[in-house]
């Protein structure tokens, strides 16, 4: 490869890094509809995840208490 081309490629790649700082690697088309539904679903599912985590914590507290009460070491 001649140096002239190499320089051109380097310039192009470097310029890409500046022009597209966040999406340089987002080569996939995420799809408009997929993006929008994801935003809605993620909101709901994030709440569900938090509920799940807290529910587990609550169950762990009561589970521990009940196993201590009954002497069950399962």
Partner 1 sequence: MIEDRRRAAGSFRDPSGFVFSIEGQVHRQVNQIYRDEYDQLIQSGLYDELAGDEQLIAHTEVDPERAVTEDVYRVIKPALIPFISYPYEWCFSQLKQAALLTLEIQFKALEFGMSLKDCSAYNLQYKNGKPIFIDTLSFERYREGQPWVAYRQFCQHFLAPLTLMSYKDVRLQQLLRVYIDGIPLDLASMLLPRRSWVNFGILSHIHLHAKSQKRFADKPVPLDRQTVGRTAFLGLIDNLRSAVEKLSWQAGNTEWHNYYAISNYSPAALAQKKQLVAEMLDKVTPAPQLVWDLGANTGLFSRIAAERGLRTISFDTDPAAVEQNYLASVANADTNILPLLLDLTNPSAGLGWENQERMSILERGPADVVLALALIHHLVISNNLPLEKVAGFFHRICNHSLVIEFVPKRDSQVQKLLLSRVDIFDDYNQTTFEREFSKFFVIQSKHSIADSDRTLYLMVKRDG
Q: Applying CB under 8 A, does 8 fall inside the site for partner 1?
A: no
Q: What is the distance between the alpha carbons of residues 21 and 43, in angstroms, rounded to a whole number?
A: 26
Q: Which stretch binds partner 1 (CB under 8 A): 44-52, 57-65, 66-74?
A: 44-52
Smallest Cα–Cα separation from 25: which of 34, 33, 17? 17
Candidates 8, 47, 58, 61: give the one binding partner 1 (CB under 8 A).
Answer: 47
Q: Applying CB under 8 A, does 57 fall inside the site for partner 1?
A: no
Q: Applying CB under 8 A, does 1 fall inside the site for partner 1?
A: yes
Q: How far is CA 14 from CA 1, 18, 21, 31, 53, in A?
A: 19, 7, 10, 27, 44
Q: Which residues bind partner 1 (CB under 8 A)?
A: 1, 6, 9-10, 13, 16-17, 22-28, 30-39, 41-50, 52
């Amino acid at each position: 490869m001649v140096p002239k081309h190499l320089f051109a490629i380097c310039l192009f790649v470097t310029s890409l890094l500046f022009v597209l700082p966040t999406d340089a690697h987002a080569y996939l088309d995420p799809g408009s509809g997929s993006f929008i539904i994801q935003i809605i679903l993620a909101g709901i599912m994030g709440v569900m995840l938090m509920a799940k985590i807290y529910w587990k914590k609550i169950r762990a507290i009561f589970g521990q208490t009940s196993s201590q009460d009954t002497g069950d070491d399962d």
